[in-house]
């Protein structure tokens, strides 16, 4: 699930919520809402997140079984 993957990737890369938010041009609060599942990023922000984390959009939103 997206929210779980965002938390996992951020922790794996050693970033704070604020650092990721700065990299993609949003507020820390907006990013925090993505991690809690309160909201979801638009497709352009998903692309930015994928680039920051060195992965694909597909990998961001899917859960491996």
Q: Evaluate if pTM is beyond 0.85.
A: yes
Which residues have a Cβ under 8 Å from the Cβ of 36 and sit 6 or more positions away? 3
Q: What pLDDT score was predicted for residue 29?
A: 98
Q: What pLDDT score was predicted for residue 65?
A: 47
- Tokens at 26, concatenated: 């949003």
Task: List the pLDDT tens digit at each of the 65 positions of the chain.
Answer: 899 999 999 999 999 999 999 999 999 999 999 999 999 999 999 999 999 999 999 999 987 64
CA nearest neighbour of 19 among 41, 40, 9: 9
CB atoms within 10 A of CB 17: 18
Q: How many residues belong to the chain? A: 65
């Amino acid at each position: 699930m997206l929210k779980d993957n965002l938390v996992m990737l951020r922790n794996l890369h050693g970033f704070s919520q604020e650092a990721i938010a700065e990299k993609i041009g949003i507020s820390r609060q907006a990013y925090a809402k993505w991690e809690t599942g309160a909201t979801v990023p638009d497709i352009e922000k998903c692309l930015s997140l994928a680039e920051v984390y060195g992965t694909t959009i597909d990998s961001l939103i899917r859960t491996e079984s």
